Chains A and B, each alone.
Chain A
Amino acid sequence: NAGVTQTPKFQVLKTGQSMTLQCAQDMNHEYMSWYRQDPGMGLRLIHYSVGAGITDQGEVPNGYNVSRSTTEDFPLRLLSAAPSQTSVYFCASSYSAGQIGYEQYFGPGTRLTVT
Chain B
Amino acid sequence: GIQVEQSPPDLILQEGANSTLRCNFSDSVNNLQWFHQNPWGQLINLFYIPSGTKQNGRLSATTVATERYSLLYISSSQTTDSGVYFCAVPSGAGSYQLTFGKGTKLSVIP
**A interface residues, Cβ below 8 angstroms from B:** 31, 33, 40-45, 48, 50, 58-59, 88, 90, 92, 94, 96, 99-106, 108-109, 111
Contacts and interface: CB of A to CB of B under 8 A. Distances in A.
Given A33-B96, A94-B96, 7 more contacts: A42-B86, A43-B100, A45-B97, A58-B97, A101-B96, A102-B96, A103-B33
Contacts, number: 61
Contact of A102 (B31, B41, B94): B31
Contacts of B91: 45
Nearest to A109: B41
Interface string B91-109: 1011111111111000000
Given A42-B101, A101-B31, A103-B33, A109 B42 contact: yes
A44 B50 CA distance: 21
